[in-house]
Each structure stands twice: as structure tokens, then as C-alpha cells.
Amino acid sequence: MQHTYRPRGQSLVEFAIIGSLLFTMLLGTVDFALAFSNQMMIRAAVAEGGYFIAQNPGNTAGAEARVLSELEGLPDATEPGRLEVHFSSTGCSGGYEDTSVTVQYVHRFLFASVLRQAEITLESSTTLPQFGTCQG
């Protein structure tokens, strides 16, 4: 039986290479899961804001408060520039106007400690008619 020569420390070097690759893949998977969870939270908040504005035409302050209360769990959402909520309305056409609710959130990846620009902007919006809100 012939034995192959294995220098000391070879297993440690192989583990270091494979371990760093596996750790990176694990971190990427966790980052994706967090971003996906945040996106679903944003979509639910936009739907809630749209529902509120449909029930209370023109009350964008109330709708924004409802959206922000739905997004309290977002990490660092109160940091300036991380979370933006926008409402816009079209002009009066056929007796109603459309109101849009848009939410943008800058999600920073866990890699942000290593890569400075490791972030993505998550966005969701909805547009709904505001019947009976105008004469036209």
C-alpha cells in the first residue's frame, strides 16, 4: 500500500479557502432573505396606505402615518435618506383623479462593512382612483 505525502497544515489551508467561500455564500443568502423580507414589508405598507387613501380621499398625512407605522420594523428607517414615502395625484379626469403611493427604502447589505456601496433601493408603488373627489 502506497501512502501519499500530505504536508502539515494542508487541511487547514483547504478549510480556510472553502470556509471563506461558504461563509460568503451564507452571508449572501441571509442578505437576500433580509432584502426580500423588507420588500414584502414595503409592499404591505403601500397596500395599507393605498387602502387608507381610498377610504379617506385627500388625507395624505393620515395615509403616510399609516405607511410609516407599518414600516417601523425596517432597520434604520429613521436615518435621513433611507426611507421615502411619496404621494402624487393626477389632474381631474372623468370625475375622479388617480392617487399614487410610492415607498423607497435603501437596504444596506451585511457586506456594507466590507464594501462601501453594498446597498440596493427597494421600491413599491400603487395607483388607485379617487372617485368623487373632483368635478371635471
In angstroms, the CA 60 to CA 38 distance is 23
Count the domains in the chain: 1
pLDDT at position 85 is: 94
Question: What residue numbers bound the domain in which 123 lies?
Answer: 10-131
- 136 has pLDDT over 70: no
CA distance 57 to 29: 41
Domain assignment present for 1 = no
User: How is the chain split among helix, strand and coil, in percent rounded to 5?
Assistant: 45, 25, 30
Q: Is residue 136 part of a domain?
A: no
- Please classify residue 133 by burial: count the beta carbons closer than 10 Å to its beta carbon, then call 0-12 exposed, 13-18 middle and 19+ buried: middle
- What's the pLDDT at 132? 63
- Considering the domain boundaries, does residue 4 fall inside one? no
Can you give the pTM of this predicted structure?
0.79
